Structure 1
Amino acid sequence: MSEIAYFHQFIEKLDSMRHGGGATPAWRVYANTGLLACIDALQANYPSVHRLLGEAPFEQLAASYVRAMPARDARLFLYGAGLPAWIRRRDGADSAVALVATLDRYWSETHSEADALPLTMDWIAQQSAQALAGMRLRPAPSTRWLGRAGVALWDQWQALRQAPDYLGPRGQPNQAVLLSRPDDAVWAQALPLAGAVLLQACDDGLCLPQALLAAGASAPEIDLQQLLAMLFAAGALQHPDQFAPRAIT
């Protein structure tokens, strides 16, 4: 039997014991401790999902995930990286639970990713027009972004993280979320959808003029200079001196 199959069997046994499946009282305590430790780790790593669903539905979701994706590392603060993808497969990529779970995961990733020298407006201003025309920028390792047309994503996520009496989505639709770590602390802020388009274009390897054109095409009213200034202030883009040029084929 493989290690993964054994662990699945082990979790199933724990779950059975947790609900009184013929185990001694001592084993029931052990079973509850093992399964609940994983559920508690998911609750700590996905506070917005817990608040969105409520106690009982979250516990059901978490228990299902633990059975399907058992922990492979005793450091449970790392557990649950696959939960957003698991929810997307179950509920669809645009479900509220999947979007909120993705943002909670992005918060953890932004907190733990490597540092990088941020790109600044001053550095960009010193470059020649020829250099800018062929320049390819990249998001910093700790930068994450997410947006959906028609969804007040920033307002919804912030309400879930901050307000215990959250009553549902609010605010204007077409919101994206930007997470970055410019000064050893996670920054989260609302981002125009065009900003998410720009970051994705940079991440896909488009040169700066192409990335800006893509952002402008997604929102003709957007002020691209102001948008870039926002990304620079957030430390969202990595200084080109810190990475080797990508091969363009």
Structure 2
Amino acid sequence: MTRPHGRFQQAFAKALFSSTEALDPAMRELATQPAFAVYRNTVMKACIDALEANFPAVARLVGSEWFRAAAALYVSAEAPRDGRLLHYGSGFAEFLRGFEPAAELIYLPGVARLDTLWLEAHAAQDASAADAAWVARRTPEQLAALSLRPHPAARWAWFDDQPVFSIWERNRAQGEVTDELAWQGEGALLTRPYDTVTWQGLTQASCVFLDACAGGATLQQAAERALAVDVKADLAAIFAGLLSAGAFTAPSSSPASNERTP
């Protein structure tokens, strides 16, 4: 049962993000007070500022004025559920997908998704990455039967038909780019095996390989699924690249896993 003070807190929070007309009479009277308007504007600005900080590639693409206008609509519809605003905006990519002024920017929801994945990788729990030397000592039979789980900070995505990763990377890095984009599908991998989030492009076969590992498949099963989408995929190069990027967590029997702090 919700206590009276709890009901008031819920109503107060709703008043911060809703139009005055949508409130019940008691809260409507409070919301019309000048002091409340100042408080509402302060909270709204904090949320918009957080979104602009959390989605820097999107903001750079569309400009601050456009971004903040769109963010204000998102904040009105999706109030924060967590006091840690680093986590705010999990639904922003989907919001942009249905946002009419962004209809011609077909890559924008994907860019927002990569900004979201960066946040998730940044905030994920620490863990030891799989040790490439330990993996290399396994026999072919042992490797085939080995299941490697993705690192807790590993995030990846495949985008059909659009160079979303290239667009995101160029705007995330904020560097000057003069070469032309190849308009084709791309994948992306974001990892944080140590202190800093890093990223790199991925093939579709690599994404499928990681999807399979995340589902508990053995390396042999993951390789078979990767070959199903690209019969010419270089499995050795895919696996080595993922290991080097820190995309896998250390197995419980490997030395690296035994060095982790409980």
TM-score by length of 2: 0.78
Contact 2:16 2:43 in 1 (8 A): no
Contact 2:147 2:218 in 1 (8 A): yes
> Which residue does 1:176 correspond to in 2?
187
- C-alpha separation in 2, matches of 1:5 and 1:215: 51
Call closer, same or farther: CA 1:30–1:9 in 2, change over 3 Å: closer
Identity of aligned residues (%): 34
Call closer, same or farther: CA 1:236–1:164 in 2, change over 3 Å: closer
Picking from 112, 127, 130, the partner of 2:141 is 130
AA aligned to 2:142 is A
- C-alpha separation in 1, matches of 2:153 and 2:205: 20
Higher-Rg member (1/2):
2
In structure 1, list runs of 5 or more residues that go unmatched: 244-249
AA aligned to 1:157 is W
- C-alpha separation in 1, matches of 2:99 and 2:177: 24
AA aligned to 1:33 is T
2:199 aligns to what SS in structure 1?
A: strand
Call closer, same or farther: CA 1:173–1:185 in 2, change over 3 Å: same
Picking from 207, 214, 226, the partner of 1:203 is 214
> Which residue does 2:126 correspond to in 1?
115
> Which residue does 1:57 correspond to in 2?
66
Call closer, same or farther: CA 1:184–1:221 in 2, change over 3 Å: same
- C-alpha separation in 1, matches of 2:177 and 2:48: 22
Following superposition of structure 1 onto structure 2, how do residues 71-150 of structure 1 map, counting pairs within 5 Å?
Answer: 71-88=80-97, 95-150=106-161
1:185 aligns to what SS in structure 2?
A: coil
Following superposition of structure 1 onto structure 2, how do residues 12-23 of structure 1 map, counting pairs within 5 Å?
Answer: 12-13=18-19
- C-alpha separation in 2, matches of 1:31 and 1:6: 10
> Which residue does 1:34 correspond to in 2?
43
RMSD: 3.2
Contact 2:107 2:162 in 1 (8 A): no
1:139 aligns to what SS in structure 2?
A: coil
TM-score by length of 1: 0.81
Give the aligned length.
237
Picking from 220, 231, 235, the partner of 2:231 is 220
In structure 2, list runs of 5 or more residues that go unmatched: 1-6, 23-30, 255-262
